[in-house]
Amino acid sequence: RLEKDFREALHHHHFTLAYQPIMDVKTGKVAKLEALARWKHPERGYISPEIFIALAEENSMIVELGNQILEMACKQWCKWRKLGLEFKLALNLSAQQLAHPDLSERIKTTLEHYDIPPHFLELELTETTAMLNVEASVMQLKSLRNLGLEIAIDDFGTGYSSLHYLKHLPIDRLKIDQSFIRDLTENEQDGTIVSTIISMAQHLKLEVIAEGVETQEQKNVLRKKQCTHVQGYLYSPP
Ligand code: C2E
Ligand code: CA
Ligand code: CA
């Protein structure tokens, strides 16, 4: 039933995007915005993206949804630019999108169509997504980066992490998963893990974003640990 409704929603372009700011710790300014997909079901109300993204992945509708999301985000970017606002945008990418041979061509054409310089777009993918087919991922990510896009590893620390491949993946930043941030102020082990990720990232010349920052205390701890970017309800919900 949900799948049928999903197809219908896809057909009628009923998905929307919510944007959540990613903040620069030092300047306190918005560094970029992450686009998060939203679906308001006519009877059931908002359905969690965890549910409909998984459904879309199972039924190979994620590529079509991803294409619509790319279009929506680009249109929104143009609206903001007309108002004098130039934000970098981060989009989430799923495995099937990454594996799709047309991905970088489609992104290139879309950015050209909307006259958006590629460095305004960043793609987030999980370690697990990147590791499904490492060679293919490396090639795809290289071609995206050659276009001028930036790449972030999402939910870092929760997936199939291979430090060996981290060295080979052409990426720009890591997003520390919110599960490490949640108890950061009480749990010493989480503190150690977060410090270790930040220090490793610094050595690899990667930027770090901490996700799920909800309190001032968490932010203060992260700042002390030299985390440069934060995202979470403390600043704004999506
Ligand atoms: P994600 O990419 O890790 O996105 C972060 C999630 O954390 C979002 O949930 C966001 O609303 C939530 N969040 C942000 N700040 C806080 C905070 O301070 N505390 C807590 N507890 N949560 C916070 P959301 O929007 O429900 O999205 C869930 C997941 O669905 C995303 O996780 C992402 O994996 C997937 N998703 C969402 N939009 C898209 C999309 O356009 N494409 C793809 N492929 N996946 C998407
Ligand atoms: Ca994300
Ligand atoms: Ca995440």
Q: Encode pLDDT of 31-52 as tens digits.
A: 999 999 999 999 999 999 999 9
| In the chain, % of residues over pLDDT 70 | 100
- Range scoring the smallest mean pLDDT among 57-61, 157-161, 172-176, 219-223: 157-161
Is 70 near ligand 1, meaning CB less than 6 Å away?
A: no
Is 69 near ligand 1, meaning CB less than 6 Å away?
A: yes
- Indicate which residue's Cα is closest to atom 2 of ligand 1: 92
Pocket test for ligand 1, best of 6, 19, 36 (most atoms within 8 A of CB): 36
- Indicate which residue's Cα is closest to atom 17 of ligand 1: 212
Task: Give the number of the atom of ligand 1 that is nearest the alpha carbon of residue 56.
Answer: 44
Q: Starting from the CA of residue 175, give the closest ligand.
A: 3
Structure confidence at residue 129 as a pLDDT band (50, 70, 90)? very high
- pLDDT > 90? residue 220: yes
Distance 154 CA to ligand 2 centre (A): 6
Distance 57 CA to ligand 1 centre (A): 16
Q: Give me the chain's average pLDDT, please.
A: 96
Distance 92 CA to ligand 2 centre (A): 5
- At residue 146, the pLDDT reads 97
- pLDDT > 80? residue 131: yes
- pLDDT > 80? residue 162: no
Is 92 near ligand 1, meaning CB less than 6 Å away?
A: yes
Q: Starting from the CA of residue 35, give the closest ligand.
A: 1
- Indicate which residue's Cα is closest to atom 19 of ligand 1: 212
Pocket test for ligand 1, best of 6, 91, 92 (most atoms within 8 A of CB): 92
Residues 74-78 have a mean pLDDT of 98
Q: Starting from the CA of residue 124, give the closest ligand.
A: 2
Phi, psi of 148 (to 5 degrees): 115, 5
Residues 79-105 have a mean pLDDT of 96
| Residues 6+ positions from 160 with CB-CB distance below 8 Å | 127, 128, 131
